[in-house]
Structure 1
Amino acid sequence: MVLLSGCDKSQFIVLDPKGPVAQQQLELIIISAVLCAIIILPVIGIFIYITVRYRDKPDNKAPYQPEWDDSRLLEVVWWGIPIIIVAVLGFFTAKTTLALTKPPVKDVKPIVVQVTSMDWKWMFTYPDKKIATVNYAEIPAGVPVQFILTSDAPMNSFWIPQLGGQEYTMPGMSMGLWLQADKTGNYFGSGANFTGKGFAHMQFKVKAVTQADFDKWADQVKKNSPALTTAGYKDLSKPGLSKELSFSSYPSGLFETIVNKNGGKYYDHMNHMGDSMNMSGMNMSGMNMSGMDMSGMDMKSQNK
């Protein structure tokens, strides 16, 4: 650890956050390391003391107590301290987790990027811009990004270490993940779940730019790139590697179709846009009910 302390931390991208989500998660890692050290360091010290103090040697004066079998004080110590540490760690973990289900900042309008993992490539669709990319994404710096994730292949894990922790992509499901880049720059992204022979090449680049440059890039893609057709997507989704690609348009409802065809039922999750459900009043105003299957619900009990 002493030798590693002299290394440039930028080489360890998990410990080099570039956004508010990654910063909160780094603080949680530090808290976890400190709490673990509270246990590990005393245990190592006691281990060294016991091995020296009670080792078998001629001049050892340690008392011999063959009938000793219980100590209330020691039991309180070795059960009480771990319970306290787990409680403290659980508190900070729950607090951070709940905070990360909402946009990192509230005063900036977020954007939505839909992410589909395939064998062995990543596709990004932009519902607001009606454009798509493969194996790279461009986002505006300082703007919360709601990544909505699914898979059109085996389950994978979407990960941009400098912006935040990983989130699974699963067939038939649409998962939400809030991330944000504080500064412009290029960030490494990768699939973090083993999915076969092309797994090592399942990487992508995330480029954070100014809002003006983001709008300019989207316009250029719209003007200069080919359209992604249904047949084109069918070919793209076949197992195989791919270079970076851009598309000026894609079939309407493509992401929703991918979710639905894999056994799921796509709908606009509230938490995708940071809204909260009022469970006491069941405020349903933010939900798109057209996409939900209500056939299996007993509505009679709701009216009693």
Structure 2
Amino acid sequence: MFKYIKYLLAAAGAFALSGCQYHILSPQGWVGIQERNLLVIATLLMLIIIIPVLIMAVYFPLKYRADRSDLSDYDPTFEHSNKIEVAVWGIPILITAALGWYTYVYTHRLDPYRPLDHLQAGIPIEVDAVSLDWKWLFIYPEFGVASVNELAVPVGRPVNFRLTSSTVMNTLSIPALGGMVYSMAGMETQLHLVADAPGVFPGRAAHYSGPGFSHMTFDTLSMSDADFDSWIANAKSDGTDLGRETYLTLEKPSIADPVRYFATVEDGLFDHVVEMCVDSGTVCAGQMMMQDKMGGGGIAGIPNAAAYSYDSKRAIDGLGTLIDLPTPNPEAFHEAFLNSPDYICGPSARKEAVIHVN
């Protein structure tokens, strides 16, 4: 009976694994192939240690067990062996050196900021990717179109990504093409990939970002140049306009959004997303940093504090629903601070300080 249970368990395990996709071990792009090669090399090098250790973990306890009949090899005076020392220290040092060398080579070869010009492939295309709650927005600045939860790329042409986030930190991952890099609010990161074969490759967010994380997926359509041109034409004919107001509506939290297209994209929209100032009433991050460098707004800038607020407009609860936070009142906070008994300066000093700042 126990034998049949083992077979049933094995069959159940095989059935459960039949739905797995092993794109990392079967990549369809140059970057993915290089990453797969590094993974295989590192695994083989480490197996040089792991396999002998596993064998010795079984062999030595059996060979030198206490109840063995032949004790002629027992030497209580043994304390050192040059051969053992060379094996114990020399082999790991060589393996570590090899791992370090290959890691160094592939780290520079696969730098996500390094363009793929050395491949002498086709003309690169530019894609601006924005991680939202919980969907992906892909903007094609050269063609003036955009899509939600669908990425189209031509076969054999490098794709130069610029990435940012309108919300929490996230990660763009297309395992079949390789590479993975973070998208962060207020920052721009880069990634360069290329597809070597046509097909549909799954992509997703690889960094947990809340209740809609499991639905933050998209298909990467790798196609010929002619099919890619048709995809662009279809987006232009069936899409809507993507301006600031449309984007502000789009970035609101939503789960399992369908694929959408935008026929036009407002110039500079991605840059405003990076600068966190798509909303016309918000100060851009670059301007904010310049003002900070010049000494800040001082007391006179307190009434304009709302223009410097970003996160409060995007607060959500555990279900991903927007929360209306109370409007901050910096004037009241400042007045309460000046009148606080913990404030070390006296009334006359506070008055002089306010006059001096003004």
TM-score (norm 2): 0.68
CA distance in structure 1 between the partners assigned to 2:230 and 2:166 by the alignment: 30
User: Which residue among 151, 154, 176 is the counterpart of 2:190?
Assistant: 176
What residue number does 1:225 align with? 239
**Alignment-mate amino acid for residue 216 of structure 2:** M
User: Which residue among 96, 99, 102 is the counterpart of 2:115?
Assistant: 102
- Percent identical pairs in the alignment equals 37
CA distance in structure 1 between the partners assigned to 2:245 and 2:25 by the alignment: 42
Structure 2 residue 151 is the aligned partner of structure 1 residue 141: no
What residue number does 1:155 align with? 169
Structure 2 residue 274 is the aligned partner of structure 1 residue 259: yes
Computing the radius of gyration over CA atoms, which structure comes out larger, 1 or 2?
2
Q: 1:165-204 CA deviation, whole Å, 9 max, x = no partner?
A: 3211122221111111112111100111111111111101
For these two proteins, the number of residue pairs brought into alignment is 265
What are the residue-to-residue correspondences of 1:31-50 with 2, within 5 Å? 31-50=41-60
**Alignment-mate amino acid for residue 267 of structure 2:** S
**Alignment-mate amino acid for residue 172 of structure 1:** G
What residue number does 1:286 align with? none
Structure 2 residue 222 is the aligned partner of structure 1 residue 208: yes
CA contact (8 A) 2:165 2:183 kept: yes
Q: 1:43-85 CA deviation, whole Å, 9 max, x = no partner?
A: 1122222111121115251655556554454333223222221
CA distance in structure 1 between the partners assigned to 2:247 and 2:19 by the alignment: 40
Structure 2's unaligned 5+ residue stretches are: 1-12, 278-283, 294-358
What residue number does 2:90 align with? 80
Cα drift, residue 251 of structure 1: 2.2
Alpha-carbon spacing, 1:9–1:234, altered in 2? closer, same or farther (3 Å)? closer
Alpha-carbon spacing, 1:131–1:26, altered in 2? closer, same or farther (3 Å)? same
User: Which residue among 75, 96, 101 is the counterpart of 1:91?
Assistant: 101
CA contact (8 A) 2:124 2:159 kept: yes
What residue number does 1:129 align with? 143
**Alignment-mate amino acid for residue 250 of structure 1:** V
Cα drift, residue 29 of structure 1: 1.2
CA distance in structure 1 between the partners assigned to 2:136 and 2:218 by the alignment: 7
Alpha-carbon spacing, 1:64–1:151, altered in 2? closer, same or farther (3 Å)? same
Structure 2 counterpart SS, 1:125: strand
**Alignment-mate amino acid for residue 137 of structure 1:** L
What are the residue-to-residue correspondences of 1:236-275 with 2, within 5 Å? 236-241=250-255, 242-261=257-276
Alpha-carbon spacing, 1:74–1:230, altered in 2? closer, same or farther (3 Å)? same
CA RMSD of aligned residues (A): 2.7
CA contact (8 A) 1:53 1:62 kept: no
Q: 1:213-252 CA deviation, whole Å, 9 max, x = no partner?
A: 2122212212331101211111211121221110011222
CA distance in structure 2 between the partners assigned to 1:24 and 1:259 by the alignment: 31
